[in-house]
């Protein structure tokens, strides 16, 4: 396991940045989440269509240079204490070879996001700094108030968050650093310098719009590459709209996940309110946690 530390906690009134490192962002989609952040922190965000988060270049929120420079600029700014990602989508992986981890190592700060931001959380962990797997700004404004509050408490309190209840699909005990994110993207990190160190880890995963056979293919790849068989246990969030295609065998995503966990003799906690659905409780990425009596129990805080 890489040695990674928790960044300093946020305080209300701190300066934070909002960036768009992946897919294009629309003003309407981000407005409610930005308002929530601005009510609590001093938000730095470039909303121009040329140089800011509303830029567009093909599939992305601006070209690779714009998106990488935006992240670098805020990581190097000593007044910025956290970086929130506007949305996921696709594109963060293209930035990884060009990102300089030195500013983050010199001045650790919070990086918050999920989905495509799985890549940036893995990059930050490789740089020695733990992040937060939590809502992107486009999702934040439509989450229940309890999930919004859970995010701010996670960012501001140097104590472990309360346990997160799930469903014991395969009972058993497991403990380790909590690592994971979007399941499909975790497999794309294999063979890169930013692959997550899964040996002894508690692996959490979620996904959206992946057919069961594709989930099985991803799990097979993770297992054959040596990662899945090394984890201590599994904690699963939403697998939203991951239904079999019309005419395909009526095998569900849950059945696929259960089969693989049984084969590997892994305890499996399912049903966590994490992912692309109506809920997304923030998690301390890289902090130690364990499975206990149908819950994910956090042993370390996200912040110092």
Buried b / exposed e along 125-139 (16+ C-beta atoms within 10 A): bbbebbbbbbbbbbb
**CA–CA separation, 137 and 241 (whole Å):** 22
Q: How far is CA 285 from the centre of its chain?
A: 7
* Beta-strand relationship, 132-133 and 283-284: antiparallel
- Segment holding 156, helix H or strand E: helix 145-156
Cα-flanking dihedrals φ and ψ of residue 54, to 5°? Answer: -95, 10
Structure tokens at 67: 């998106």
**CA–CA separation, 277 and 244 (whole Å):** 18
What is the set of active-site residues? 115, 206, 276
């Amino acid at each position: 396991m890489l040695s990674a530390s928790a960044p300093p906690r946020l305080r209300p009134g701190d300066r934070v940045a909002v960036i768009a490192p992946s897919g294009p962002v629309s003003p309407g989609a981000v407005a409610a989440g930005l308002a929530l952040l601005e009510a609590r922190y001093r938000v730095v965000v470039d909303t121009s269509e040329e140089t800011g988060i509303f830029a567009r270049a093909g599939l992305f929120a601006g070209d690779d240079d714009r998106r990488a420079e935006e992240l670098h600029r805020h990581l190097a700014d000593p007044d910025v204490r956290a970086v929130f990602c506007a949305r996921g989508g696709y594109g963060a992986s293209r930035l990884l070879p060009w990102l300089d981890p030195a500013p983050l190592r010199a001045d650790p700060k919070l990086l918050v996001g999920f989905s495509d931001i799985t890549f940036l959380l893995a990059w930050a962990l490789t740089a020695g700094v733990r992040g937060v797997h939590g809502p992107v700004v486009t999702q934040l404004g439509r989450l229940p108030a309890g999930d919004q509050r859970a995010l701010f408490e996670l960012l501001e309190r140097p104590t472990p968050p309360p346990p997160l209840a799930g469903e014991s699909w395969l009972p058993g005990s497991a403990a380790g650093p909590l690592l994971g994110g979007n399941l499909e993207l975790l497999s794309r990190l294999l063979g890169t310098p930013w692959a997550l160190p899964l040996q002894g880890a508690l692996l959490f995963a979620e996904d959206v719009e992946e057919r069961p056979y594709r989930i099985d293919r991803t799990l097979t790849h993770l297992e054959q590459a040596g990662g899945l068989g090394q984890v201590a246990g599994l904690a699963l969030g939403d697998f939203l709209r991951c239904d079999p295609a019309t005419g395909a065998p009526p095998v569900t995503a849950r059945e696929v996940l259960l089969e693989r966990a049984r084969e590997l003799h892994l305890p499996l906690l399912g049903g966590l309110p994490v992912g692309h659905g109506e809920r997304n409780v923030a998690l301390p990425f890289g902090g130690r946690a364990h499975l206990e009596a149908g819950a994910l129990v956090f042993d370390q805080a996200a912040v110092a």
